[in-house]
Amino acid sequence: MSHVGNRRWSDTPPTARLTDSWTTQLIASKASKDSKVHFAGSKAVHIPRSPSHLYLTTTYGQSPPTPFYPLQLAEYKEHIASTARNCSSNHLTQTTDMAATANGLTYPVSESIPHEMEKNLPGGGNWVVQKFGGTSVGKCALNIADIARDGLAKNRIAVVCSARSNNTKAEGTTNRLLRAAREAEKPTVRNYDAIVEAIRSEHISAAKETIASPARLASLSDAITAECVGLTRILEAAQHLGEVSVRVEDKIVSKGEKLSCLFMAAVLEDQGVPAQYIDLSDVIKFDTSHGVDDSFYTNLSKALAEKVQSAGDKVPVITGYFGAVPAGLLNTIGRGYTDLCAALVAVGINADELQVWKEVDGIFTADPRKVPTARLLPSVSPSEAAELTFYGSEVIHPFTMEQVIRARIPIRIKNVINPRNVGTVIIPDPEERKYGATPGHDSRLFHRSRSSTDLALNIMHPKRPTAVTVKHNIIVLNVHSNKRTRAHGFLMSIFNILDKWHLSVDLISSSEVHVSMAIHSESALLSGGGEDELKIQDRDLHAAVDELRKFGNVDLIGNMAIISLVGKQLKNMVGISGKFFSVLGDNNINIEMISQGASEINISCVIDERDADRALSVVHTNLFTFLD
């Protein structure tokens, strides 16, 4: 593949021409044998023996040059000859005092090293941002090094890492750090010491298993120990004060990304990939008095771009934690902040693509671990990806999609274990591009219409949903009004109480005197069940239920799950809701609650947790395999 300016083409025909005002510059480096490139003046550049690359750049007028692109040496002479043959003196403008001579042809030459001229330009270098999750860092560090190295053949690469996990997210570094923070709230015991030591020893053990260079291993071990010493001091201070504030909790959690990125930068260097660790703890130096709004994200993406450019020609390995966010990073963004960081880096440097690397090939029509016939989806819309994420499929943080889709940067989900697979790309659908919308933020994106255009779309699109997903750990909260308040006052009071106690509702079904809500939590909200009476063990839920009883009878149903059918074409599929519910009913799966989103791309219902996997399988079999 050859490149001119920001245009790319494969198998360039011999008649390809450059436009009048383009200047072509040739940078020869690392030729296959020792040689010299002679200039029209008295200078010559010596090219040492090493693997071969040739870098070609173009500039337009007085603007800074666009990125350098590596070409295979085998294409070298023919590329020069064909380009020069087809560029008259009017088409080729020399902007330097030196010119290289090759095969009797004179060509302008720059002595710049690759990436030197464009490294300070936002978007310079055809960047690709690669985000790796904690489990990938824990299990596949060498794969990550190979992926970054392979990416450098065509693009400049920026790497963003989550905190390391050996096996599962539940036992990962971030969860351990949060436990350490809780232990620091206890006034007399130092249980956090054992947690910190376990984190330190695991990172050093991983380094010993992965890094060959003794000097690099020693340096990394010292850096890991220093970070853990700093972590212990933060925990000691918090214990002394008797409080772990939002800011302190963020500082504690940030150590996970720092340790992970120190480790990955060392692994990349050890595998021959020049890399630089980039700590984002101090990246927020601008005014944040207006909170986390659009201006905050705009300023942050610019600041992140400056950090990336500070790495020069090396691959920046960037901490997913990005500093002191108003009201706290975990409170404001949640656990998906590393995805958001990668998105903002991509926006700041105007990347060609954001790649999110996981341990699966991409997004499937159902969980392939539970439904063997699930198919890989080549592409989905941002709205579909957001719904799938919210209702159980760990795709990508919704804030991430909002940032990159607004900037028209595609997101590709790929498999760190199977990098050759193309994965799934998240790209705006025609309506999103038309309105410049982001998922869930423009009502026109979900405009209900039954026009001839919709009928045409119904013919063009396959008559099946995009995916089916299950969300576990659900309880159903039912409130039956005592009719002491009007209907609108009843609902308003219910939601005010839930908001007060930080309870988020996933689904809701209501009438004038009754409301049912599905609530999700990773931690158990209830205990007991079966023959034992259900007991509320979550403090916030207990307090909320006590207040809700003022407005009527309250009952809770535990051990439930949400099964959701997702697809932007659902609104054009007449009778799909009936088929969905019939499949569940025909298989003796009881439906506790039903909800259909206003966007018309999601149909959900609450079922018993013990039926969830069977429901997923039968719905996929009947609605994805045999649906005409």
Write down the pLDDT at residue 169. 64
pLDDT, tens digit, for every residue of 388-399?
Answer: 988 887 778 777
Q: Please provide the DSSP assignment of 550-610 as one string.
A: TSEEEEEEEEEEEEEEE-TTGGGSTTHHHHHHHHHHHTT--EEEEEE-TTSSEEEEEEEGG
pLDDT of residue 65: 35
The larger pLDDT score, comparing residue 294 to residue 105, is at 294
Give residue 612's pLDDT. 96
pLDDT at 116: 41
Tell me the H-state helices in 283-416.
294-309, 329-332, 337-348, 382-390, 398-406
Q: Percentage of the chain with pLDDT > 70?
A: 70
Torsional class of 553: left (φ above 0), alpha (ψ -120 to 50), beta (otherwise) = beta
- Supply the pLDDT for residue 59: 31
Write phi, then psi, for 58 (nearest 5 degrees).
Answer: -130, 150
Q: What backbone phi and psi angles, to 5 degrees, belong to 539?
A: -60, -45
Q: What is the CATH number of domain 127-359?
A: 3.40.1160.10
- In degrees to the nearest 10, what's the CA dihedral of 225, 227, 232, 238? 180
Q: Is 567 exposed, middle or buried (0-12, 13-18, 19+ CB in 10 A)?
A: buried
- Residue 342 has a pLDDT of 94
Q: Report in angstroms the alpha-carbon separations of 200 from 176, 197, 231.
A: 12, 5, 10
**Span(s) in the chain for CATH 3.40.1160.10:** 127-359
| Other C-beta atoms lying within 10 Å of the C-beta of residue 100 | 22
In the chain, CATH 3.30.2130.10 covers 467-625
Cα gap 488→515, rounded to integer Å: 12
Do the bridges between strand 411-415 and strand 275-278 make them parallel or antiparallel, or are there none, so unpaired? unpaired
Q: For domain 467-625, give its CATH number from 3.30.360.10, 3.90.870.10, 3.30.2130.10, 3.90.180.10.
A: 3.30.2130.10
Q: What is the mean pLDDT of residues 249-272?
A: 96
Write down the pLDDT at residue 427.
86
Lowest mean pLDDT among 425-429, 549-553, 584-588: 425-429
Rg (CA), the chain: 28
Question: 102 pLDDT band (50/70/90 cuts)?
Answer: very low
Of 360, 257, 229, nearest in space to 265 by CA: 257
Selection from 340, 338, 342, 290 nearest residue 316 by Cα: 342
pLDDT at 357: 96
At 525 the pLDDT is: 67
pLDDT value, residue 441: 41
- Write out pLDDT tens, residues 215-247: 999 999 999 999 999 999 999 999 999 889 988
Residue 347 has pLDDT above 90, yes or no: yes
Question: pLDDT for 577-598, tens place per residue?
Answer: 999 999 999 999 999 999 886 6
Highest mean pLDDT among 490-494, 500-504, 571-575, 584-588: 584-588
Region for residue 242 given its phi and psi (left: phi exceeds 0; alpha: psi -120 to 50; beta: otherwise): left
pLDDT at 444: 36
Neighbouring C-beta atoms of residue 330, cutoff 10 Å: 16
Residue 547: CB atoms within 10 Å = 16
Direct distance between the N- and C-terminal alpha carbons of the chain, in angstroms, rounded to an integer: 41
Average of per-residue pLDDT across 437-444: 40
546 and 480 in contact (C-beta within 8 Å)?
Answer: no
Q: For residues 485-514, b (16+ Cβ closer than 10 Å) or e, as one string?
A: beeeebbebbeebbeebebebbbbbeeeee
| Whole-number Cα distances in Å, 165 to 9, 132, 170, 176, 267 | 41, 11, 9, 10, 16
Strands annotated E in 30-148: 35-38, 44-47, 53-60, 69-71, 99-102, 105-108, 127-132
- Give the residue from 465, 472, 466, 470 showing the smallest Cα distance to 370: 470
What is the bridge-based pairing of β-strands 526-529 and 105-108?
A: unpaired
Give yes or no for residue 334 having a pLDDT over 60. yes
What rounded mean pLDDT belongs to the chain? 76
* SS3 readout for 263-298: HHHHHHHHCCCCEEEECCCCCCCCCCCCCCCHHHHH
Least-confidence region, from 397-401, 497-501, 567-571: 397-401
Interval 473-487: pLDDT, tens? 999 999 988 776 666
pLDDT at 135 over 90: yes
Dist CA 112 CA 306 (whole Å): 21
Q: Is residue 431 pLDDT above 50, yes or no?
A: yes
User: Mean pLDDT, to the nearest integer, of 110-129?
Assistant: 52
Q: Does residue 70 have a pLDDT over 50? A: no
